[in-house]
Amino acid sequence: MKIIFEKSVAGRRGVRPPRQEGCPDPNLPVRLLRENPAELPELSELDVVRHFTELSRRNFGVDNGFYPLGSCTMKYNPKMAERVANLHGFSGLHPLLPQLPTGETLVQGALAVLYHMDHLLREICGMAAFTLQPLAGAHGELTGVMIIAAYHKHKGNRKTTLLIPDSAHGTNPASAAIAGYQVRVIPSDSNGYMDVAALEAALDGSIAGLMLTNPNTVGLFDPNIKRISELVHGVDGLMYYDGANLNPLLGKCRPGDMGFDIVHLNLHKTFATPHGGGGPGAGPVGVCERLTEFLPVSLVEERPDGTFYLNYDRPKSIGYIAPFYGNFGIILRAYAYILALGKEGLIRVAENATLNANYIMEKLKPYFDLPFDRVCKHECVFSAKRQTEHGVHAIDIAKALIDRGFHPPTMYFPMTVPEALMIEPTETESKETLDAFCDAMIEIAKLAKDDPQKITSCPTTTLVGRLDEVRAARQLDLASLK
């Protein structure tokens, strides 16, 4: 398939209907125009439509296939939530609509959504307050770490280090470093949990807090979580909850009740809003009571008469961390999702996500190494170490799954498991889909033993065949378009 610039023909263009009399001039003032025309391809409307339609057919997403990407919760996005987000009263809003002379804003409905979403997330997570500004999970992490820094600065503490387990999501140490903290890694024990003895040995007056997800990245709920919280709080450290793995806990237990002081959520994972392709996302951050004064400005609050307003009077706040009030369209979708499911529905989400992961684990463990053979939560982690004896690696299994119509699971993460294959089915997939996926994995495992070349040569059904990924990374070949 040619790129769109290669399809360009000089002088070819689409047809635009003439502007009607009385309509405002759509052209920008001359002072805002480029000095030189943009170097854009010249195509007819038909050329453009066919080009992008063909591109869309080559995409893989949750609407056209199973996407078992571990630790990323690529679940189906209900169209009900899309319809709510497209209601004109929401989609037609502008964030700079003025206030009325009475002080009431013209966006009361939107403010009500933000206010009630804040309170729903408080109840779900056991937190005292939330900010909905962060634009993604990693952005929420950075916000949370900035709150940790503000808390210790306010108290006059000299804290320099954040603790992070060796199985943590990669954004955790990145967020800590961006905020100016040193990172100290705590190893896992033989059971797949964070080593409590190593944690205790690492705790001293320099420790600002611990960043942790529970269940962890091998899909296991840490039974030592209360003890861990007590140890960290014992040195005036804060407990930070990476909410990427909240899916199996909905309605079952709350991070706040485990001892966490700060929580970030991935609305684009747990609450079924669009995910992938770089966004858009939403990463709200919740805090316990003693940290509420450090939350970003502004916060939506309610007046005695039931109207809502934005409170900017927050002298200890860490300030703005995003334009306006976050990705409102994503927050709105997640709000509709929570209201549609209700308490019992969210509990079923957790139960079905856990059931599906354990179903896959039980079906596949005779064929792949299972480093931690016990009940998991929302995801299970296998190792392809057995297959490496025949020259087949995790990446080969991933390529073979593509040939069989499935998106690969996460590979080589967590790094605590060699040749890792992390599988998260989510609660939205049917037994028939899980069986088809397991059948494909079993077929691959058998071929890896009996005819490994059939696996190492995959993919064979795609438009682009097997690539030399190492060479592609080391010898970039970027086309120069004129």
What's the CATH number where 382 sits?
Answer: 3.90.1150.10
Please give the pLDDT value at position 191.
94
Please give the pLDDT value at position 99.
67
Q: Are 98 and 445 in contact (CB under 8 A)?
A: no
Q: Are residues 322 and 365 in the same domain?
A: no
Domain boundaries, position 466: 348-472
Q: What pLDDT band is residue 102 in, cutting at 50, 70 and 90? A: low
Least confident of 16-20, 178-182, 308-312: 16-20
* Domain presence at residue 70: no
List the one residue out of 139, 186, 142, 141 whose CA is nearest residue 164: 186
Q: Are residues 248 and 171 in the same domain?
A: yes
- Is the pLDDT at 184 greater than 50, yes or no? yes
Location of structure tokens 């170490």: 385
Q: Are residues 390 and 300 in the same domain?
A: no
List the one residue out of 167, 72, 138 whose CA is nearest residue 408: 72
Q: Are residues 183 and 257 in the same domain?
A: yes
Please give the pLDDT value at position 482.
38
What CATH number should be reported for the domain holding residue 249?
3.40.640.10
pTM for this prediction: 0.90
What is the tens place of the pLDDT at every residue in 317-339? 999 999 888 899 999 999 999 99
C-alpha distances out from residue 191 to 71, 196, 201, Å: 19, 12, 19
Q: Are residues 299 and 399 in the same domain?
A: no
* Domain presence at residue 355: yes
* Domain presence at residue 21: no
Long-range contacts, 106-114 (Cβ 8 Å, 24+): 108/307, 108/308, 110/328, 111/300, 111/308, 111/309, 111/310, 112/308, 113/328, 113/331, 113/332, 113/335, 114/300, 114/308, 114/325, 114/328, 114/331
Question: The tokens of 443 are what?
Answer: 């077929």
